[in-house]
Amino acid sequence: MLRKLALAAAAVAVTGSAAMAADLYVPETPAPIVEASGVGFEGLYTGVQLGGYFQEDYDTQAFVGGVVGYNFTADPVLVGIELQGNYYFENDDYPAAGEILALGKLGFVVTDNFAVYALGGFGYVWQDEDAADFSEYALGVGAELKLTDEVGLRGDILAIGYEDGVDTFDAARATVGVLWHF
């Protein structure tokens, strides 16, 4: 009789455990408090920029321009190409001028919305009046802060050299701009 009672108790315990296991609550993974925005730097972008051109012993020359480019990313590396077109305003030392500048870009995506990079490339400048046109080369650094998926603020500083310049780099250029990513 004791054996039958022990077997009955074991049967009740096993079936009761199985029934409880079916009722066990397994919580889902909680939703993140802040969703990832999907902000990134890869793809086509265009924008506007303004800045100053600085050369020793000369007045600063202001300019305004446009930018179009394309970035490739392989987290965290950023590689890109960019084309800039700028108009330099006339001042006491320089005539008005136009510039086209092709740049390569190599950098890092530091966070989802911040990137730093180096820029380098070549350009051509044509000037109003009787001033000579000339080729140039540029090397510098920049950074971009994405405000939304589509809009970013950026700044860069380029050292500028000329095809027959006396020094390796003859001038500097600082730029700020707004970019729209597609």
C-alpha to C-alpha distance for 26 and 29, rounded to whole angstroms: 9
The pLDDT, as a whole number, for residue 36 is 44
C-alpha to C-alpha distance for 69 and 103, rounded to whole angstroms: 9
Selected residue with higher pLDDT from 27 and 37: 27
Q: How many residues comprise the chain?
A: 182
- Residue 133's pLDDT band, with cuts at 50, 70 and 90, is confident
The pLDDT, as a whole number, for residue 17 is 53
Burial of 158 (0-12, 13-18, 19+ CB in 10 A): buried
**In sequence order, what are the beta bridge partners of 21?**
none
Is the pLDDT at 34 greater than 50, yes or no?
no
C-alpha to C-alpha distance for 128 and 126, rounded to whole angstroms: 7
pLDDT per residue as tens digits for the range 94-110: 899 999 999 999 999 99
Is the pLDDT at 26 greater than 70, yes or no?
no
Which of 81-95 are b and which e, b meaning 16 or more Cβ less than 10 Å from the residue's Cβ?
A: ebbbebebeeeeebe
Burial of 138 (0-12, 13-18, 19+ CB in 10 A): buried
Give me the domains of the chain, ranges plus CATH numbers: 43-181 (2.40.160.20)
Look at residue 40 and give its three-state secondary structure.
Answer: coil
**In sequence order, what are the beta bridge partners of 98?**
87, 126
Read off the tokens for 155. Answer: 């700044």
* Percentage with pLDDT > 70 across the chain: 78
- Segment among 4-8, 46-50, 108-112 with least mean pLDDT: 4-8
pLDDT per residue as tens digits for the range 62-91: 999 999 999 999 989 999 999 999 999 999
Mean pLDDT of 12-22: 54
- Residue 130's pLDDT band, with cuts at 50, 70 and 90, is confident
- Residue 30's pLDDT band, with cuts at 50, 70 and 90, is low
* Inter-residue contact 180 to 154 (CB < 8 Å): no
